[in-house]
């Protein structure tokens, strides 16, 4: 079985850590590199967490590059209240002996895409600052990208604000650049992100596993149970990786999408035009037309996602 070449762009992050474990352990995926971006926690912690999680996953050979430290325009804020001060829910992993490569994440990605004999897939799980910068400096990379999978946006309610999802709200201008770039994109929105969950008993069973990856996954999920005071914990970003593993388990729809940049209450909101195409063509009369067609994950088979997550992290 040939495996798919992917790059992960992360802001590790409890659920980015779950995504790293899943991607690194899945034989169907060949993780060619991981780029770090500031998001859930500042970039130094993102880098530290990423290196340490890859070590547990037996993937310390995977190159890790440090990327953008701040959003393109706005000041930095983060999500330490969800991910803990260290970004891993307080879990203290043994420090990996690996270090980041001596190239900026954007340079690294551009070089790798350019040198690759086949098209690559990028899975972006944090604010889109690295990816937007890549597209602005190296617009030609687009032809070397088979698919860009993004965790971001919300059709219904947001999480960071009433209307905006965290990754998009953290850097709306970057998201705007990316959604206006003509690259095949699959958007794993907040609405489906929250649906793949494990209860306390299942989490305890994972923690008790003699497999290091499964046990770490359990500990990460337990940190969510504790912090969020909920009965079940979601795998979050790891679901975006699972879309590559079981595409038959998702239902998608293609639609135009825009990012609200100036709304006083809605900055960072992703605006999805779900109207019939004929209707949306009338829009320019009264409002700027929404650009950029994006494939959006509208529904998923929860049980397939849960099984794939547990089965693959022990591989």
How far apart are alpha carbons 167 and 157 in whole angstroms?
Answer: 14
Task: Check residue 217 for interaction with Ca ion (CB under 5 A).
Answer: no
Residues 46/8, Cβ–Cβ less than 8 Å: no
In the β-sheet with 293-300, what is the strand arrangement from edge to edge?
64-66, 29-36, 4-10, 120-124, 145-151, 185-188, 293-300, 250-259, 270-272
| CA nearest neighbour of 46 among 87, 8, 82 | 87
Task: Check residue 270 for interaction with ligand BDR (CB under 6 A).
Answer: no
Backbone angles phi, psi at 184, to 5 degrees: -60, 115
Residues 225/270, Cβ–Cβ less than 8 Å: no
Task: Check residue 16 for interaction with Ca ion (CB under 5 A).
Answer: yes
221-260 footprint of ligand BDR as x/- string (CB under 6 A): ---------------xx-----------------------
The nearest distance, CB 40 to Ca ion, in angstroms, is 6
Binding ligand BDR (rule: CB under 6 A), the pick from 151, 174, 225, 296 is: 151
The nearest distance, CB 79 to ligand BDR, in angstroms, is 5
The nearest distance, CB 193 to ligand BDR, in angstroms, is 6
Task: Check residue 125 for interaction with Ca ion (CB under 5 A).
Answer: yes
Contact partner at residue 79 from ligand BDR, Ca ion, none, CB < 5 to 8 Å by partner kind: ligand BDR
Task: Check residue 16 for interaction with ligand BDR (CB under 6 A).
Answer: yes
User: What's the N-to-C CA distance of the chain in angstroms?
Assistant: 15
The nearest distance, CB 222 to Ca ion, in angstroms, is 18
DSSP result, 290-303 = P--EEEEEEEE-HH
Binding Ca ion (rule: CB under 5 A), the pick from 7, 13, 41, 203 is: 13
The nearest distance, CB 130 to ligand BDR, in angstroms, is 14
How far apart are alpha carbons 83 and 90 in whole angstroms?
Answer: 8
Of residues 232-271, which lie at the interface with Ca ion (CB under 5 A)?
Answer: 237
Task: Check residue 166 for interaction with ligand BDR (CB under 6 A).
Answer: yes
How far apart are alpha carbons 270 and 259 in whole angstroms?
Answer: 5
Task: Check residue 89 for interaction with Ca ion (CB under 5 A).
Answer: no
Contact footprint for Ca ion (CB under 5 A): 11, 13, 16, 125-126, 237
């Amino acid at each position: 079985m040939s495996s798919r070449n992917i790059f992960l762009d992360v802001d590790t992050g409890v659920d980015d850590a779950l995504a790293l474990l899943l991607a690194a352990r899945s034989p169907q995926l060949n993780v060619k590199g991981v780029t770090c971006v500031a998001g859930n926690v500042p970039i130094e912690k993102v880098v530290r967490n990423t290196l340490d999680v890859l070590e547990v996953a037996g993937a310390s050979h995977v190159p890790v590059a440090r990327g953008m430290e701040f959003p393109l325009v706005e000041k930095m804020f983060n999500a330490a209240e969800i991910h803990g001060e260290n970004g891993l829910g307080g879990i203290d992993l043994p420090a990996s002996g690996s270090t980041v490569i001596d190239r900026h994440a954007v340079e690294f990605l551009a070089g790798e895409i350019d040198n690759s004999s086949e098209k690559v897939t990028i899975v972006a799980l944090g604010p889109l600052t690295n990816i937007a910068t890549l597209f602005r400096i190296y617009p030609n990379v687009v032809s070397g990208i088979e698919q860009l999978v993004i965790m971001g946006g919300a059709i219904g309610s947001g999480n960071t604000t009433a209307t905006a999802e965290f990754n998009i709200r953290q850097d709306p201008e970057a998201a705007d650049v990316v959604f206006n770039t003509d690259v095949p994109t699959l958007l794993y929105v907040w609405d489906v992100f929250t649906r793949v969950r494990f209860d306390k008993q299942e989490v305890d069973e994972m923690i008790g596993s003699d497999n290091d990856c499964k046990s770490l996954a359990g500990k990460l999920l337990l940190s969510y149970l504790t912090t969020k005071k909920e009965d079940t914990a979601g795998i979050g970003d790891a679901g975006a990786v699972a879309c590559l593993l079981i595409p038959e388990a998702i239902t998608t729809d293609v639609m135009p999408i825009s990012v609200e940049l100036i709304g006083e209450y809605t900055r960072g909101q992703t605006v999805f035009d779900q109207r019939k195409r004929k209707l949306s063509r009338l829009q320019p009369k009264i409002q700027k037309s929404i650009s950029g067609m994006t494939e959006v994950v509208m529904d998923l088979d929860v049980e397939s996602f849960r099984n794939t997550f547990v089965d693959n992290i022990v591989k």
